[in-house]
Structure 1
């Protein structure tokens, strides 16, 4: 019996591979966040810990503020930074101390700590990209007794962690009635000066802190400048956040519009064009971007840059949430979540013969050689971008599906779309549709991935993978049973898919470039994942900082998912993660997790598994081996 038990234990030990790295954090793990830089940031009862799977020790440990709630950590999109906050920053925060810190999680550096720099109160703390600066406002306990109670702004260089300059928002020791100089929104950093939105108005300072000008425009939340940085637009939330006022200010601080422009709803998209200002606002229950609300509706307006007045006599009717919004050479193209695509000239004239009716939830709108391809949860077609005419004689229709996957087969000049258990092949020239194959995935899963791989057709979902030849004949069907509903719920969000990771970076890149309001609403090309990865890499490389350079190199490399898929399943001895070869459908690697409800993260881009082995321990495995 003893020999049997020992041999059984040995077999189990061989099955469960020894982790490549083992991190004993010494404190209970509460949350795990896998960042776009490939570093796992772990929230414990003591603070934050950063784990880079290629290093044997954590890259950083931040326990200065103690245990942190999830809402107290803010991962800045498209950057290696996490902002840590405790206490509410406010002019009226009283004696409650507010603390902020900025951590570069890739190199494990604390770039800014309000306690170290003697800040007693922090009103705002904003990372500004691509300039790579940090702008802080609040009360700093330095100087004489008046300076210690006067609101102040400081600008730090994130690459060096050094203070660039700082200044007071009010004159220390000023005699008279106290004024509220709390900062109300995100400062706008321009080449020659900085604009701070405050409760007293907009305040402009030079980069050495000299006063330039001040306006009476109060309560601005965010700002955008044109390419020349001579015209600035300020956005003020009014009516308890239900509506927006837009102000226009000149480089010298003068108000350039006679009256500000009131917009119904919350502005979600804004672009400065030679012809005018394109504005999309959301109103109703889904004004914060909740497209699924029945009462959510968007409005599109086109305003004069000189006066703010409507340039269109009649705004296009949306009758729903604007899910897609693109600036074209001849006008504005938009798609509605509830169904429908239309195009309007900059003069407000319809460019399509009539609005195009589509199914609900437009998953894809993109350029293709034949025109605009759209794919919804219910149908697909290609549209002539000049006229709105359908290129395919009839739209491809299928039973409504939350998951529709597609790709372009260049060797056979055809589009492939899989929906409702059928793979459809559409000839790119004629638009003729044929049913290539009928498939059935186990557990009633719908494919969410489709690609051409070595001349064959690959489709996949969470637990299923299938490879078919050109004629739709099955080469293999690999199915790994899910570990049960309770365990499977842990899978949701457990895998950081390479494609979604690049999309996140691309969104962040657009946001970072939003200082000039130009080029953030461009229609992408179909099947352009590789180019998206390159754009992400180039965006990171353009910022002069070592951590951004490391992120750039990460996106230059091939994704670990190009040749494999990582699946959580039931192994002979318990729940584990398997690496399934996309070419053969066979399992190349097994990692037994010995946990019915495993908590883990998989970096599909880099190819690493982070597994919470116990309440205070993280194991990492290299999935590329």
Structure 2
């Protein structure tokens, strides 16, 4: 039952609704070990009994999957850009590159939007699973392993099956070799299959096998141990990737639609391929190789960039550009390839191998933003910012805006005043977009030594925020308000957990889905330089893809990705209230607290769905509360 109390908060002479009772209570019946908020808005709680799915739109859990008992983090895989979570009995990483990260005899797929268990290996007689791949946007599952049904010979012969995930029914299946046939050859799937319009290509230990959509063999070749494949738009040219030297290098093969090798010799690149683009003029490739110990991407690794002929695989550039670090940004332009290095530096090279910038552009470390503007390419790093001519690399601003190595940098574009606003090192700089003239817009002094990590333009000013602070400046740079809400603990531990959780981090999801891998061409290229002010482009692309899949859960996700955040005008901060720790809902335009939710726990486990406007809070070991944040 809802209980709303009117109270005066200690940190302001204002009235706000104080809510102590949740809108929904979910008793899960087992100890909660972990909570995950999916990009579809479903909260998934891993308990000692299994997985429980919760949606605030329902008073009861969507599902309670207990078939496999407690599920560890490494036994769950959330399929990017989908309503699916894969669970496995057992854990660990796949031993071969290209295989699913999950291992285990039992597998299940749960649709966390509808709550349906749409696939379970033990229900369908799979006694052992070798590979298990969800293929989108076709919405299919390709599984390989051993199945219990059939003769003894069939039970012990590796089998591949394709299932339609919309209906959960099998489309077709086939054996990798003839059951009962004596052979010294070991048949197993070595990577992710490539699902095309009229065929399925399976990489195996004995070569590639192509089947039509009834399971009939179309062709075979001896290209062994391929981990993933990608085709051109016509599906007549297929590129296959083979990890060598324990995955430290990669061989690239080209195959025709009849299985014939189209290159006289395969091509070897150093490292693991992280980006592969099929372009009209050739093949653009980025590969990353380990340069030492430490495990910090961008610090101990180095990337290689190559451009190869699609006809014969030969290098089209006489001399590949030196990166001297990790390729953090990679964009295909009309006249060439633009790239930015984590350690600092931006360059552009034509498809013919000519350097288009007069000289490599020196920048600070960690290029947070590279985006197109009417004046050129804007870049913002931990140390500097500038706009440069995309054709020549010349500085548009006479000199870059420099600041100390900031822990956080926030920026926004003020269209009415034709300027960029950049916040770093307790100061907001205003940079004229045309001249590059820099002026001081305002000073920032956030409590607990926080740096603003978010900036946005509001109708009445410029809004900045961090974990415990929020402020608004009018367009002249005068502070309209600054509100600070003390952390529930004396340490800075809660800084990471507090604030709105960006559950729909679409750009991240898209980057994951578009990273070099099987069926990439089904989604199209993600290596397009975005416009600085072009918000929602990735979200729209995801929504359009969802809408093209004939499944109710994808339709719901499509609508969610098109939706405006239910809490776009509010900031949520975990702080100390009179009666204990709680979450405050603060209006961005006024700085006034509109709602407080008492949680009491100084280190609460909670998730905020900012699109749906819901707070999920773990009230005790077995219970989750849901609060409506929109009221």
Q: Give the structure 1 partner of residue 174 of structure 2.
A: 167
Structure 1: distance between partners of 2:437 and 2:49: 62
Q: Give the structure 1 partner of residue 478 of structure 2.
A: 473
Q: Give the structure 1 partner of residue 52 of structure 2.
A: 49
Alpha-carbon shift at residue 487 of structure 1 (Å): 7.9
Residues 360-392 of structure 1 show CA distances to partners (whole Å, capped at 9, x for unaligned) of 100000011111110000000011101111100
Length-normalised TM-score, structure 2? 0.93
Structure 2: distance between partners of 1:198 and 1:138: 12
Unaligned runs of 5+ in 1: 1-6
Alpha-carbon shift at residue 289 of structure 1 (Å): 9.0
Unaligned runs of 5+ in 2: 10-16, 97-102
The more displaced of 208-217 and 532-541 is: 532-541
2:43 is the counterpart of 1:40: yes
The alignment partner of 2:543 has SS state of: helix
The alignment partner of 2:514 has SS state of: helix
Residues 71-97 of structure 1 show CA distances to partners (whole Å, capped at 9, x for unaligned) of 000001111000011247899xxxx97
The alignment partner of 1:496 has SS state of: coil
Structure 1 counterpart of 2:448, from 443, 446, 453: 443
Structure 1: distance between partners of 2:499 and 2:490: 14
Length-normalised TM-score, structure 1? 0.94
Equivalences, count: 607
Alpha-carbon shift at residue 510 of structure 1 (Å): 3.2
How do 1:264-283 and structure 2 match up within 5 A? 264-283=270-289
The alignment partner of 1:227 has SS state of: coil
Structure 1 counterpart of 2:571, from 557, 565, 571: 565
How do 1:188-587 and structure 2 match up within 5 A? 188-285=194-291, 290-293=296-299, 295-484=300-489, 488-489=493-494, 491-492=496-497, 495-497=500-502, 501-508=505-512, 510=514, 514-515=520-521, 518-587=524-593
Contact 2:467 2:496 in 1 (8 A): no
2:162 is the counterpart of 1:155: yes
The more displaced of 437-446 and 505-514 is: 505-514
Contact 2:388 2:394 in 1 (8 A): yes
Distance 1:509 1:517, change over 3 A: closer
Residues 242-289 of structure 1 show CA distances to partners (whole Å, capped at 9, x for unaligned) of 111111111100011111111101111110011111110111157999
Structure 2: distance between partners of 1:554 and 1:217: 43
Alpha-carbon shift at residue 159 of structure 1 (Å): 0.9
Structure 2: distance between partners of 1:472 and 1:491: 28
Structure 1: distance between partners of 2:387 and 2:470: 28
Distance 1:288 1:182, change over 3 A: farther
C-alpha RMSD of matched pairs (Å): 2.1
Contact 1:226 1:517 in 2 (8 A): no
Distance 1:551 1:196, change over 3 A: same
Distance 1:183 1:614, change over 3 A: same
Distance 1:231 1:516, change over 3 A: farther
Alpha-carbon shift at residue 538 of structure 1 (Å): 2.0
Distance 1:289 1:255, change over 3 A: farther
2:102 is the counterpart of 1:98: no
Contact 1:399 1:420 in 2 (8 A): yes
Contact 2:19 2:595 in 1 (8 A): no
Structure 2: distance between partners of 1:289 and 1:158: 37
Contact 1:90 1:122 in 2 (8 A): no
Contact 2:192 2:227 in 1 (8 A): yes
Residues 556-593 of structure 1 show CA distances to partners (whole Å, capped at 9, x for unaligned) of 22113420011111111111111110011111110111
Structure 1: distance between partners of 2:617 and 2:69: 23
Structure 2: distance between partners of 1:444 and 1:288: 29
Structure 2: distance between partners of 1:29 and 1:602: 17
Distance 1:603 1:187, change over 3 A: same
Structure 2: distance between partners of 1:487 and 1:397: 28
Contact 1:269 1:279 in 2 (8 A): yes
Q: Give the structure 2 partner of residue 4 of structure 1.
A: none
Structure 2 counterpart of 1:25, from 24, 28, 31: 28
Alpha-carbon shift at residue 15 of structure 1 (Å): 4.8
Distance 1:485 1:80, change over 3 A: farther
Structure 2 counterpart of 1:121, from 117, 128, 146: 128
2:146 is the counterpart of 1:139: yes
Distance 1:485 1:185, change over 3 A: farther
Distance 1:425 1:487, change over 3 A: closer
Contact 1:368 1:525 in 2 (8 A): yes
The more displaced of 477-486 and 558-567 is: 477-486
Contact 2:514 2:523 in 1 (8 A): no
Contact 1:282 1:289 in 2 (8 A): no
Alpha-carbon shift at residue 504 of structure 1 (Å): 2.8
Contact 1:566 1:579 in 2 (8 A): yes
How do 1:65-76 and structure 2 match up within 5 A? 65-76=68-79
